[in-house]
Homo-oligomer: A and B are copies of this chain.
Amino acid sequence: MVWYLRVVRLEVGDVVRLGILTGGGDCPGLNAVLRAVVRTAENVYGQNVIGYRHGWHGVAEGDSVELTGASTHGILASGGTILGTSRYHPDEHDDATERVLDTLARDHIGALIVVGGDGTLAAARLVSERGVCVLGIPKTIDNDVRCTDRSVGFDTAVSTATEAIDRIHTTAESHDRLMVVEVMGHRAGWLAVSAGLAGGAHVILVPERPFDIDEVAASLRHRHQRESFSIVVVAEGATPAAGTFEFAVTKGPSGDIAAGAIGERVRSELGLRTGFESRLVVLGHVQRGGAPTAADRILASRFGVAAVEAIQSGASAVMTALCGDVVQLVPLADATAGFRPVPDDLLRVADSLLR
């Protein structure tokens, strides 16, 4: 196994271990990744696994816990991450990268598995450039990590948001209302398009396509000639087209887009233009939580196994990716070179079915 040791100075007899961290916003399926990594490392390769707490913060601070078959028992179907997570990035803190390297050397970490969205994975790339063997696993309910069809957590978030839209459907219909539903997605509309399609929404507004509020209002008035209710799904990062109405994106306490801002604005602008009774629902943090769907458990398990196998085969600076039905490895550099917007053909499917 010497092939994957780069920064670690080993004495004879030292045991080399796998490290793992989960970073960024939490999502369902992270625990399934941890379980798969531990089981494969322990059962197939006889390796020990160290988990760092609260993402990169735990590596910088040397805050870790041993992960074993026993300590990961029964977590396959549980949401969140037993390691905790944070949005801490080593390159934003003095000396943090050095401290990361120190911790990894001290803990005899031969390879580090980094489970995160593009911020967390970008830090992984930087650390890998310092000589550490790093394997990335993409997770984000936004599904906007490049080079992979799916990220861990997305399927569950779509399922959760769809259930919510299903529920809102019955109340919209019973009360003849225009319901605006704001979902997550600050730069890509994957969740909005997917949950909107699955929930039978009538308008879907996404960051990829600035919207003309007058057109949206006209289409709703047209619809209400034969129907008495509507559902409008708005991604939190959707923005009006130039020249329609002024909207300055507000940022929340942690730099996030303020929940409900665009949703409330869309609701009131549409209410003004149509005269329909309207209500806003902001799904919020509910979208991040809960038991992962079967599809997310499977994806997480496959990624976890693939990451450990890739390390064995000498890979580094790569990320596991789903391409069709196959798990592949893609360079971390490519995966973190931007984000992945919703393609036009999926937006076109929505156009055909909405209204």
Contact = CB atoms under 8 A, between A and B. Distances in A.
Contacts of A77: 166, 200
Which of A25, A160, A260, A293 neighbours the largest number of chain B CB atoms within 10 Å of its CB? A293
Interface string A30-60: 1000011001100110000000001000000
A260 B258 CA distance: 14
Contacts of A280: 284
Given A76-B200, A349-B302, A323 B324 contact: yes
A45 to B, nearest CB: 10
A312 B174 CA distance: 30
Given A44-B352, A282-B282, A167 B79 contact: yes
Contact of A159 (B76, B160, B294, B305): B294
Contacts of A164: 286
A281 B284 contact: yes
Interface stretch (A8-16, A80-88, A130-138, A204-212): A80-88
B149 A324 contact: yes
Contact of A294 (B198, B253, B283, B323): B198
A163 interface: yes
Contact of A166 (B84, B161, B200, B289): B289
A97 interface: no
A28 B298 contact: no
A174 B84 contact: yes
A149 B353 contact: no
Given A79-B170, A84-B176, A327-B345, A198 B298 contact: yes
Contacts of A306: 349
Contacts of A159: 293-295
A285 interface: yes
Given A170-B78, A175-B86, A349 B288 contact: no
Contacts of A149: 324-325
Contacts of A353: 35-36, 39-40, 301, 305
A80 B200 contact: no
A64 to B, nearest CB: 16
A167 B84 contact: no
A355 interface: yes
A333 interface: no
Given A286-B281, A353-B36, A198 B166 contact: no
A187 interface: no
Nearest to A284: B281
B176 A80 contact: no
Contacts of A35: 353
Nearest to A323: B324
Interface in A236-277: 253-254, 260, 277
B170 A28 contact: yes
Interface of A: 22, 25-26, 28, 30, 35-36, 39-40, 43-44, 54, 76-81, 84-86, 149, 155, 158-164, 166-171, 173-176, 179, 194-195, 197-200, 253-254, 260, 277, 279-286, 288-290, 293-295, 297-298, 301-302, 305-306, 323-327, 343, 345-346, 349, 352-353, 355
Given A76-B198, A79-B171, 9 more contacts: A40-B352, A43-B355, A85-B175, A158-B298, A170-B290, A197-B297, A279-B284, A280-B284, A326-B345
